[in-house]
Amino acid sequence: MRSSYRNVAIYLIIGLLAGAVIGYLVETQVSSGKIKDLQNQIDSISTEIPRGNIVQKGSDTLLIVAQRWAEEYMNKHSAVSISVAGGGSGVGFSALAQKTTDIADASREIKSSEIQTAKSNGVNPVEWVVGLDGIAIVVNKGNPITEMTMEQLEKIYNGTYTNWKQVGGNDATIITYGRQSTSGTYDFFREHVLHNKNFRADNRELAGNAEIVNSVMGDVNGIGYVGVAYTKKGVNVKIVRIKSAADATAYEPSVENIKSGTYPIARKLYIYTNGVPTGTLADYVAFILGPEGQQILEEVGYISYIKVDK
């Protein structure tokens, strides 16, 4: 096994002891012994060739980076086949509980009810933080709006504001786009923007981030929320700067602003496994957490949460 993979496990232990929350067992106090287990699993296959099948399913936000992780890992290990699918964080957690996926990708933390469902099926979800993301608020390029407050955003999505002129825009009906309820992005937005209140009745729920971007591109009165990586590579929408309050500075979801915490709609990204992974799965998780996996994460447009020596 490449030394860089083992260094990842060692780094996790050091970070844990320093108080950095990088990977931990859900519902239990994290212990260095559990993280040490991952290092032991990696060391145990140091002379073996990774082989077998891995299923990775869940968050649509993580889908584009998960596909890149899988592709790069399979390029390095021809005896490994990795199947990647989206569907939403909830879909991933359900699949993990049903033992139909090896990794659940998630853009939110697992819920206590999902933990109980998993445990009732003999599954022990283990959480690994793999990156940081900002929720980008996007409007059509023809919309004159350039910034708004968190309160204005809340009122747009809860139905209090229905016309763009109420937030300084054109006299036109606001059309909101968002994710389906199985999405971790939906849950995060509902909790952190709507304060766990309901979305407006006419909110248009779509299956993925790309669908939201495409809808806003074609709707001059549309607004949507997506993972920041879906605004990269020449996507023809306008990103709205967000202010925490009316008298605050408006920030865009840049790497610097997400890292510093000044952008108000930022979150962690996760993968979950059933217990501490073993064998080839342990190697793949170490790859994701290691220099190569984190470089891919940043190339896609997300932000590395794990700092390792390159």
Confidence label for 61 from pLDDT (cuts 50, 70 and 90): very high
Confidence label for 5 from pLDDT (cuts 50, 70 and 90): low
Q: What is the pLDDT of residues 238-260, one digit of tens each?
A: 999 999 999 999 999 999 999 88
Residues 63, 37: contact at Cβ < 8 Å? Answer: no
Q: How big, in percent rounded to 5, are the helix, strand and coil portions of the chain? A: 40, 25, 35
Q: How far apart, in whole angstroms, are the C-alpha atoms of residue 20 and residue 5?
A: 19
Quote the CATH superfamily of domain 134-260. Periplasmic binding protein-like II (3.40.190.10)
Q: Is pLDDT at 186 greater than 80 in this prediction?
A: yes
Mean of the per-residue pLDDT values for the chain? Answer: 87
Quote the CATH superfamily of domain 3-132+268-304. Periplasmic binding protein-like II (3.40.190.10)
Name the segment(s) of the chain with CATH classification 3.40.190.10.
Answer: 3-132+268-304, 134-260
Contacts (Cβ under 8 Å, ≥6 apart) of 74: 80, 81, 82
| Token pair recorded at residue 61 | 């936000």
Query: Residue 142 class from Cβ within 10 Å (0-12 exposed, 13-18 middle, 19+ buried)?
Result: exposed
Whether pTM > 0.75 for this model: the answer is: yes
Query: Residue 163 class from Cβ within 10 Å (0-12 exposed, 13-18 middle, 19+ buried)?
Result: middle
Q: What is the pLDDT of residues 73-111, one digit of tens each?
A: 999 999 999 999 999 999 999 999 999 999 999 999 999
